[in-house]
Amino acid sequence: MDVLTALSNKSDYSRAQLQLIVSAWILSGLAEKQSKISLHDGDVAEDDYDKRSLYSLLYALYRSMGEVRDEKGERYEFTFNTWGYTWPEAWGPAPPHQQDPQRYGRNAYSGLYHFEQVKKYVAERNGQVHVVEMGCGTGAGAHHVCKNVLPDCTYEAVDMQSAAIRTCERKFVPDLPGRLQATCSDATHLARPRGFSDFVAVNETHVTELVGVVTDEDDRFFRKAHAMLKPGGFIVWGNAIPDPTWDACFGFLESIGFKLREQNDVTEEAVRARDEDKARIDVYVDQCIEAFHGFKIPGVGAKKRALADVALKNFARNPGTKLYQNMVDRTDTYRVVLLEKMR
């Protein structure tokens, strides 16, 4: 069983199914010559995983763990699949929730709307704007924005992962009747009227990952954003991606009718967030690993436990991992950008 490629984004695996899947992955270690996961820093090569399988596993895991405790004993459900950043001083006072276990994720979503041009646009419409988020995960950020950032908006949260959208429907949609809609779809396949949305939000969505190139999927992703936006509407986009990929994307986006209005580099703040969040991630990963019996299988259990530990921490860009180091040495830079649809 290769959990990095074999799972389906259309499934929402139960805890019992996850126990079987994890045990099968552990036992497959008996015949494995070399692991795809680096034991040293959790690195997994792009070609060695399929994002549909990876996120299917992660969202089923988050849901099956339910409420957990952070390092201080505070209860929360892991719903922000977001690295985020500490609030940049230059942006003024930090938003509330700075004691929340998932505050860096909340900051990342608040940060998408910190631009003066965005605030003016929203104020001119008395707050009544529509947002489509492409790659919303569980919808935790969508809920945060509807509650705390754009309290009069309507919002469609879209993700290709069934398990994530089911969490959104269970946990967030009922709290925002008539305002938040959750849609399970590959965002590039959405069929929506042209020019109907004020904002397209893209927060750490797993696209634009290849160094210095705009892939076919990226091309379809941005063209879809363009089609859905009103003229004068905005893409608000934050992520840590390979540094040369930003310029490649900006060139492409300008070629299809966008203008780059502003960009802020928050890589330092993103590294600081990962440093400050390390204790919570360590405790969370321990709780996840303890929950799966297969890791107690003698011999191979311990080996796979170490791999699962470092892989989960790498996805969280925890200090000591490859993805963390990529931000420290600026192989990946975290930027928050504003693009306006001009034509």
Ligand X SMILES: C[S@@+](CC[C@H](N)C(=O)[O-])C[C@H]1O[C@@H](n2cnc3c(N)ncnc32)[C@H](O)[C@@H]1O
For ligand X, the binding residues (CB under 6 A) are: 51, 55, 80-82, 134-137, 140-141, 158-161, 164, 186-188, 203-207, 221
Residue 52 CB, shortest distance to ligand X, in Å, is 7
Write out the chain in H/E/C secondary structure.
CCCCCCCCCCCCCCHHHHHHHHHHHHHHHHHCCCCCCCCCCCCCCHHHCCHHHHHHHHHHHHHHHCEEECCCCCEEECCCCCCCCCCCHHHCCCCCCCCCCCHHHHHHHHHCCCCHHHHHHHHHCCCCCEEEEECCCCCHHHHHHHHHHCCCCEEEEEECCHHHHHHHHHHHHHHCCCCEEEEECCHHHCCCCCCCEEEEEEECCCCCCCCCCCCHHHHHHHHHHHHHEEEEEEEEEEEEEEHHHHHHHHHHHHHCCEEEEEEEECHHHHHHHHHHHHHHHHHHHHHHHHCCHHHHCCCHHHHHHHHHHHHHHHHCCCCCCHHHHHHHCCCEEEEEEEEEECC
Our CB check for ligand X shows the closer of 59 and 121 to be 59
Min CB(208)–ligand X separation in Å = 10
Task: Give 2 or 186: the residue with its C-beta nearer to ligand X.
Answer: 186
Smallest separation (angstroms) from ligand X to the CB of 81: 4
Our CB check for ligand X shows the closer of 37 and 136 to be 136
Q: Is 62 left (phi over 0), alpha (psi -120 to 50) or beta?
A: alpha
Q: How far is the CB of 204 from ligand X (least distance, A)?
A: 4
Is there a contact between 225 and 197 (Cβ–Cβ < 8 Å)?
no
Which position's Cβ is nearest ligand X? 137
Residue 23 vs 318, nearer CB to ligand X: 318
Q: Work out how close the CB of 274 gets to ligand X at its nearest, in angstroms, rounded to a whole number.
A: 14
Which lies closer to ligand X via its Cβ, residue 141 or residue 233? 141
Least distance between ligand X and beta carbon 79 (Å): 7
Name the amino acid, one letter, at 23: S
- To ligand X, the closest distance from the beta carbon of 268 in angstroms equals 20
Residue 163 near residue 59 (C-beta atoms within 8 A): yes
Token pair for 26: 């552990």
147 or 303: whose CB is closer to ligand X? 147
Closer of 111 and 301 to ligand X (Cβ): 111
Of 23 and 102, which CB lies nearer to ligand X in the complex structure? Answer: 102
Closest separation in Å from C-beta 212 to ligand X: 19
